[in-house]
Every structure is written in C-alpha cells, then in structure tokens.
Amino acid sequence: MAMQHPVRPLSPHLQIYRWQLTSVLSILHRLTGLYLTLGLVGISLGLYLLAFSPAGFSGYRRFLESPIGLILLVTWSWSFFYHLLNGIRHLFWDMGVGFELKEVYQAGWIAVIGSLGLVLIFWFVLAW
C-alpha cells in the first residue's frame, strides 16, 4: 500500500495574499537600488557624450528635457531619496533600534512620505 501524505496547508496564492507594508518596502528598496544603478549608467553615458561628442550631448540633454526624460529624472531622484531614507532605517536596525512592530511601520512610512517630501523640495529648488 502506498504511503499517504498528510494533508498540509498550501502556501497562499498570490491573488489572495495580503501584502504587508514591510514586504512591499523591502521589495521597493531592492527595486530602487536597481533603478539607481541603471540611472548611473545613463549619467555615465551623458558624461561620456559631454567629453567626446558635443552634438551627442546636445541630443542627450534634449532627451532629458523631454517629458519622458523629466519623468525618468524625477523617479530616479525619488528612488535616491527613498533608498537613502530606507537605508538609514536599516542602519538603525543594525544597531538594534526600532524592532517593535509599531516602530517598524512608523519608520517605513517616514521613509515613504519623507522621500516624497524630499523629492518635492529638491525639484522645487531645482526649478526655482
């Protein structure tokens, strides 16, 4: 007779899984790190064009001033500020501070709202 396996609960399906703030912020931290890396490649391209191809740099600058370019710059700067604030949050965790659930959520919201505030201030000052 074949062995019967005990009935075990299955992992929650993604369609019914309720996302938690902590998991979303963790994934977002990784994605912003990737986006910052890709942005550095773009900045490096701009510096290369500035040094070796004035006409190419002119096109690069026109692209950055276009609506798509501005969206990329604003989202890249938001990624920078979010990654910075969330990194500071992780440094506090490394020191053993802020592990209570309430503190974890507060620090997470501070990173999200603070990054939005910083990007607004940054672009307001830059546009002024």
pLDDT of 33 reads 98
CB 74 within 8 A of CB 119: yes
- Position 112, amino acid: V
Q: For residue range 63-103, list pLDDT tens digits in order.
A: 999 999 999 999 999 999 999 999 999 999 999 999 999 99
More confident residue, 7 or 60: 60
Strands of the chain, DSSP E = none
Q: For residue range 38-62, list pLDDT tens digits in order.
A: 999 999 999 999 999 999 999 999 9
Options 3.40.50.720, 3.40.50.300, 1.10.1510.10, 1.20.1300.10; which CATH number does 21-127 get? 1.20.1300.10
CB 91 within 8 A of CB 8: no
Closest CA to 46 of 27, 72, 12, 85: 72
pLDDT of 25 reads 98
pLDDT of 17 reads 80
Per-residue confidence band for 4, with pLDDT thresholds at 50, 70 and 90: confident
pLDDT of 84 reads 99
pTM score, whole prediction: 0.87
More confident residue, 36 or 7: 36
Average pLDDT over residues 24-51: 98
pLDDT at 2 over 90: no
Whole-angstrom distance, CA of residue 23 vs CA of residue 7 = 28
pLDDT of 18 reads 85
> Could you give the C-alpha distances from 29 to 5, 59, 84, 111, 116, in angstroms and in order?
40, 32, 9, 10, 15
